């Protein structure tokens, strides 16, 4: 189970300006990426963070995954505070980040095995798990190729195998179907559904997307994020009802863009 409570994060971005004017005192720009994001993702459930571009989804998930430190708020993974007990909390988490980041000179198998070793897995157990995952993700022919030159879909599969190798109870995926074709998207959807069911381990899965059809098809629970804030939460049906909309697209537009000043939802 993953709980994110009142997350906040700002960045200092470099201002525009040419090097020739560097002698002038330039003011840097403060960007509030996440202002008040809260959600509770249950085990055995796929929770979707849905929001427009720049809403703060990636930044929120990076905080959940311990990749960046929140300015405010907290994250718990299975009751463990990510800031206080990062090792224990992150050992229970598999992460597919937006930058898939593979080592190009290593084969897919070596990429995954390396990560397994970092997680403290014995080599034999890691190899057995890699074979299982390669079957599940339909990537056996890829395993012993260097990842250099892999297609987008092949990279996603490898990164996903790496995220799942230590069999984490919680899985966080940033835009997992980005760049995948229809067949790969369907296959990935099936894998995620399987992992969320009792026979797949009843995992807690959190994913981000800006594609509402994707979220509508896959997610049991939806968290709508807009302008760095959680603005609504619930099942697709509940959100449609709340927005008084006939379909999910209308509900999303009404809820996400309704009122810039609306109150953020508590956890
Ligand atoms: N390292 C950074 N430095 C400066 N600004 C940043 C940084 N990371 C994120 N931001 C800004 O924070 C805001 C939220 O970005 P984020 O990547 O979290 O959005 P997102 O919801 O994932 O969007 P998308 O759907 O486009 O992936 C954006 O305005 C972005 O420009
Ligand atoms: Mg993003």
What is the residue with the minimal CA distance to atom 17 of ligand 1?
Answer: 58
**Residue-wise pLDDT tens digits, 70-100:** 999 999 999 999 999 999 999 999 999 876 7
Average pLDDT over residues 32-49: 97
Residues 6+ away with beta carbon under 8 Å from 249: 212
Domains and CATH numbers, the chain: 1-16+27-92+169-267 (3.40.50.300), 100-167 (no CATH)
Helices and strands: H and E segment counts in the chain? 9, 10
Pocket of ligand 1 contains residue 53 by CB under 6 Å: yes
Rounded-to-integer distance, Cα 233 and Cα 149, Å: 40
Centroid of ligand 1 to alpha carbon of 58 (angstroms): 7
pLDDT over 60 at 34, yes or no: yes
What is the number of alpha carbons within 13 Å of residue 147 lying toward its C-beta?
A: 23
Q: CB of 28 within 8 A of CB of 16?
A: no
Question: What's residue 261's pLDDT?
Answer: 42
Give which of 220, 255, 226 is closest to 40, Cα–Cα: 220
User: Pairing mode, if any, of strands 72-77 and 2-13?
Assistant: antiparallel
User: Which ligand is in closest contact with the Cα of 174?
Assistant: 2
Q: What is the pTM of this model?
A: 0.90
Pocket of ligand 1 contains residue 29 by CB under 6 Å: no
Rounded-to-integer distance, Cα 100 and Cα 217, Å: 24
Centroid of ligand 1 to alpha carbon of 238 (angstroms): 28
Question: What's residue 192's pLDDT?
Answer: 94
Rounded-to-integer distance, Cα 24 and Cα 182, Å: 51
Pocket of ligand 1 contains residue 58 by CB under 6 Å: yes
DSSP H or E stretch at residue 231: strand 229-234
């Amino acid at each position: 189970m993953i709980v994110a409570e009142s997350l906040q994060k700002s960045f200092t971005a470099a201002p525009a300006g040419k090097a020739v004017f560097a002698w002038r005192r330039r003011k840097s720009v403060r960007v509030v990426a996440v202002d008040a994001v809260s959600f509770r993702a249950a085990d055995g459930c796929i929770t979707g963070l849905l929001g427009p571009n720049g809403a703060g989804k990636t930044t929120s998930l990076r905080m959940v995954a311990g990749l960046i430190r929140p300015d405010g708020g907290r994250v718990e993974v299975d009751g463990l505070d990510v800031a206080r007990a990062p090792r224990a909390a992150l050992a229970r988490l598999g992460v597919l980040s937006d930058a898939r980041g593979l080592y190009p000179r290593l084969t897919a198998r070596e990429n995954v095995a390396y990560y397994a070793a970092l997680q403290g897995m014995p080599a034999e157990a890691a190899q057995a798990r890699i074979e299982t995952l390669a079957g599940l993700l339909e990537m056996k022919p890829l395993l012993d190729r260097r990842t250099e030159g892999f297609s987008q879909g092949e990279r996603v599969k490898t990164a996903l195998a790496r995220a799942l190798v230590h069999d984490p109870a919680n899985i966080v995926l940033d835009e997992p179907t980005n760049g995948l074709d229809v067949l790969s998207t369907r296959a990935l959807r099936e894998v995620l559904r399987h992992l969320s069911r009792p026979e797949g381990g009843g995992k807690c899965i959190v994913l981000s997307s800006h594609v509402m059809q994707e979220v509508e098809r896959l997610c049991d629970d939806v968290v709508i994020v807009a302008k760095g804030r959680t603005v609504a939460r619930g099942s697709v049906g509940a959100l449609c009802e709340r927005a008084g909309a006939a379909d999910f697209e209308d509900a999303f537009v009404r809820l996400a863009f309704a009122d810039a000043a609306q109150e953020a939802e508590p956890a």
